[in-house]
Amino acid sequence: MRSIIPDYLTEALGDVESDISGELAGYIPELAAADPERLGAVFAMVDGAVYGAGDIDTEFTIQSISKPFTYALALSDRGFDPVLAKVGVEPSGEAFNQISLESDTGRPLNPMINAGAITVHSLAGSEQLNPTERVERVVQGLSAFAGRALTVDEAVCASELEHAHRNLAIAHMLRSHDILTEDPRVAVDGYIRQCAVLVTARDLAMMAATLANRGVNPRTGEQVVREPVVRQVLSVMATCGMYDAAGDWATQVGIPAKSGVAGGLIGALPGQIGIATFSPRLDPHGHSVRGVTLFERFSADMGLHVMEVPAAARAAVRSNHVVGKGPYAIRVFQLQGGIRFAGAERAVRETMDAAPAQARVALDLTMVSSIDDVSRRMLLEVVRRLTLDGHEVYLIDPDSIIPDPDPGDGGRVTVIGDLEEALSPGRTVT
């Protein structure tokens, strides 16, 4: 049977195909020569499944979609402080190529506008790298996000370099404030090469999925950047990724995103999906017209808005019941699903409220798929308190969701794989 998702994507593309509004990026002559009819969309799930329709293997230049990824590389290579000292995280509310620097420090407001991105490019790789090595580091890093070796489109690069007056003006401003400490031309050269990296919609979706998957490429399994870096990058994409349309985007689409003037558009929804669309005609903000419409539709059709409230944490406690009789009676709290703070709080409350009369209490984690650090600590503290109150506590944890549980001072827990192990009279579990 055919999957339903490619059919959905094909239908969505069909609905936007007739929209020929918008303009190609005329300020880069080579981009103005692109085929405006190209249209494609890809979903990359965080487990590596990929669905696509339309022009998903056509190469085009990444342009500004390189910005969040190069920001991730700079944060990884140099650490947060040196990068934050040079580039802020405040939305500018202005166009991508606005010369907007903080009035006192000269710091670019954020890494998504060109001023920030040129600075960020200068911070990629170790300080010792020469400009060529720095570009290599960026291309290699973008490739790791995509999961394949990417190359540079020399024609687009040369074409943009010839018309780079505005970016050069920005870079000179940055140099005058000592935000850039090198020749402004060198920084702009490197930045423009970074923007000329060739990608397909499939690559972009995989890059977005790597962000959505805590920095691990779903296909290669490579941890490209660490989780704190991903959180920083997604936050900045959410607030600044769509420049002066960031507020509209946040309310209408609600997915951390980034656009590029060659027509690419990505969205990364943490824990779920990386999405990419490709259609070259742009709106006045420099975002793909059909891409924006597609994202609005995807978000609405599939409930992808990041502020969409997830199912109630109540579901964390599946049941609370007593099994067995007499001295073998056990109060069982069966938990389920992915447990985070609100789910753990619910489980803690249920356990405390029940004030189990039974001497033996079991926390059944058999149906728990994941548990975060705070929830693990909360449950172990419950175990400790139950022990101190005189209970014998079992953790039913066949998959070692909580490996080596240590309930701490005065706590004691017996890990079993199955409730039967605690029930059978012949087997005294100690």
Of positions 96, 249, 278, 295, contacts ligand GLN by CB under 6 A: 96
63 binds ligand GLN (CB under 6 A): yes
76 binds ligand GLN (CB under 6 A): no
Would you say 86 and 121 are in contact if contact means Cβ atoms under 8 Å apart?
no
Catalytic residue among 8, 46, 64, 382: 64
Catalytic residue among 236, 243, 289, 383: 243
114 binds ligand GLN (CB under 6 A): yes
Beta pairing class for 330-339 and 317-323? antiparallel
Catalytic residue among 225, 261, 393, 413: 261
In 241-332, where does DSSP find H-type helix? 246-252, 289-302
191 labelled catalytic: yes
Question: Structure tokens of 301?
Answer: 């059709």
Closest residue to ligand GLN in the complex (CB): 64
The secondary element (H helix, E strand) that includes residue 45 is strand 40-45
243 labelled catalytic: yes
Of positions 44, 64, 265, 343, contacts ligand GLN by CB under 6 A: 64
361 labelled catalytic: no
30 binds ligand GLN (CB under 6 A): no
Of positions 70, 97, 143, 387, contacts ligand GLN by CB under 6 A: 97
195 binds ligand GLN (CB under 6 A): yes
- Whole-angstrom Cα Rg for the chain: 26
Half-sphere exposure of 73 (CA within 13 A, CB side): 27
Would you say 222 and 61 are in contact if contact means Cβ atoms under 8 Å apart?
no
325 labelled catalytic: no
327 to each of 271, 331, 392, how far by Cα in Å?
Answer: 44, 12, 12
Site for ligand GLN in 142-181 (CB under 6 A): 160, 167
Phi first, then psi: give them for residue 205, nearest 5 degrees: -65, -40
Q: How far is the CB of 33 from ligand GLN (least distance, A)?
A: 16
Q: How far is the CB of 122 from ligand GLN (least distance, A)?
A: 14
Q: Counting Cβ atoms within 10 Å, is residue 227 exposed (0-12), middle (13-18) or buried (19+)? A: exposed
364 by DSSP, 3-state: which? strand
Give binding residues for substrate as ranges: 64, 114, 160, 167, 191, 243, 261
Residues lying near ligand GLN in the complex (CB under 6 A): 63-64, 96-97, 114, 160, 167, 195, 260-261, 286
Active site residue ranges = 64, 67, 191, 243, 261
